Amino acid sequence: MALPMIPILALLALFLHAIYHDIIYPYFLSPLSKIPNAHWSVPISRLWILSYRRREEETPAVHEAHQRLGPVVRLAPNEISVNNVDGGIRSVYAGGYEKGDWYLNVFSNYGVMPMFAMPDHGPHSKRKRMLSNVYAKSTLQSSPSLRAISHAILDERLTPRLKDLSAKGESLDFYYIFAALTHDFVSSYIFGLGNGSDFLRQPAEAKKFFDDFKARQRYQFWPQELPGLTSFLSKIGLQWLLVPSWVGPANRDIEAMIQKMCNSAEETLAEVPEEDQKPNKAGAEMQNWPNVYAQLRNALLKDITTNCIDVKMSVVELVERQKLEMASEMLDHTLAGFDTSSIVLTFFSWEISRPEHEGWQKKLRQELKDVHDIHDAKAVDALPLLHAMLMETLRLHAAIPGNQPRITPPSATLGAPGHELTGLPAGVRVQAQAWSLHRNPDVFPEPDTWNPARWLSHERGGTSSEAQLKEMGRWFWAFGSGGRMCVGSNLAMFDMKAIIAAIWSRFETKVDYAEGMVHRGGYVAEPVGKEGKYCVLKLGDD
């Protein structure tokens, strides 16, 4: 009679183990059990957060959870979100938390990781040191190459087109124009004007690239959040169930375009003696100098001998590998640089063109009229009203307001001072999002209102004290923070200010159609658009 009891006891033991493992432990005993749950199911399932991520609604969902539950929220069995500076983004993004496969699975190009996707701090820091000087604010403001590029793109390409539209009384969708403009700007600084894109004068080609680029982003969810399923279906030829077949060719077309720019930049460098390969000494025209490409190329070439010893590769093999590394890095800089800036500029143009903000546009245009030379980078950068209006747009309309995941080290501690959560295990996915940081009402009163005056001191006619300005700076996260802060943030500020100065020093704008000017709720927050239109403005010439 004892034998039949054995399988019954075994089943009972399995049942009790399942109850403990899947319910009691995650809900009551896990180190994460003290953290408020965004949804009742999150201690045992990722379905709640995955459903929002799949629909590109994660950002507002997580923000609502923080509003209900506080600065630290549990999103899944092994995922948490933080929304505070001290004990939050300071600990995570400046405290040794590394990146996971979330970045690697989507942001690699040519099968090679760019700096942005590198999981470990060491290789990332080494690559960033190679590139930081070419993106330094002092370098950009004193660069004869960038000044020449700015003049060529803004005065010779953009302004004639806008004058023609203004004279005809025609409206223009500024999202498309900003996408073309920023791609031309960024690719020209990276590869040289003659080697970069000319989308402003090739609108059909620009629109195809832009539409393909944006459409493929809709399918990044699968390899990022469910890489195992994506890999399995790919191996058995069923990846089309998740990702349409055209996405692969679209990605390869983009890679081919950037590879062509790399080859053209290499030809430009070949025309200049090695000892003269500096922007201020190059025989090539200043505007055609491949600033970023040359910087990385020369830095990587210095590593060839050492790397050959370290990885047992021949010089030829290493050079070929480094060509792919350069192409991957340049692709990442180009796409990230144009996409984010075009989104911010589109929302900027929408805000100042709305009837209720007519006064802000008039003040900006007056400030710009007092500038002797709009291509004087230092003079434009020093304009207080322009800076305040751009900062407020970056706060309210950050291009990347979504999650920035990291992985906890062993025995991590998170939470505001006095409310710390200690002993968090290694391997927990922790994230923050600019959308929520930028909407803290204690730091940004009336956070959903576009109000540039908050970025101006009382002495400049604004509404903030010096202490308030300093606190807003601590919470401002449009470019991230810590060692992995956006390496191109200075270039982004430069080209956005230059573009704003070029347009609104010469034209006034009014909204013609902007029903689709609401953000997507995913990692990238471009305007949703409506009927294929985004921010359509009518221009008036002086």
Residue of 36, 28, 26 lying closest to 72 (CA atoms): 36
**Mode of pairing for the β-strands spanning 72-76 and 536-541:** unpaired
* 69 burial level (CB within 10 Å; 0-12, 13-18, 19+): middle
Let me know: does 442 contact 464? Beta carbons within 8 Å: no
Let me know: does 185 contact 158? Beta carbons within 8 Å: no
In angstroms, the Cα distances linking 38 to 62, 422, 424, 439 are 8, 20, 18, 18
Residue of 345, 358, 335 lying closest to 502 (CA atoms): 345
Which residue carries 């970045």 as its tokens?
103
Dihedral sign, Cα of residue 471, residue 472, residue 475, residue 476: negative
CA distance 47 to 440: 28
Please, what's the b/e burial string for 386-402 (b: 16 or more CB within 10 A of its CB; e: otherwise)? bbbbbbbbbbbbbbbbb
Supply 505's token pair: 């020093």
Let me know: does 140 contact 304? Beta carbons within 8 Å: no
Beta bridge partners of 510: 538
486 carries a ligand binding annotation: yes
**Mode of pairing for the β-strands spanning 79-82 and 429-431:** parallel
Let me know: does 395 contact 476? Beta carbons within 8 Å: yes
In angstroms, the Cα distances linking 369 to 91, 146, 328, 538 are 44, 22, 41, 21
Provide the annotated binding site for heme. 486
Provide the annotated binding site. 486
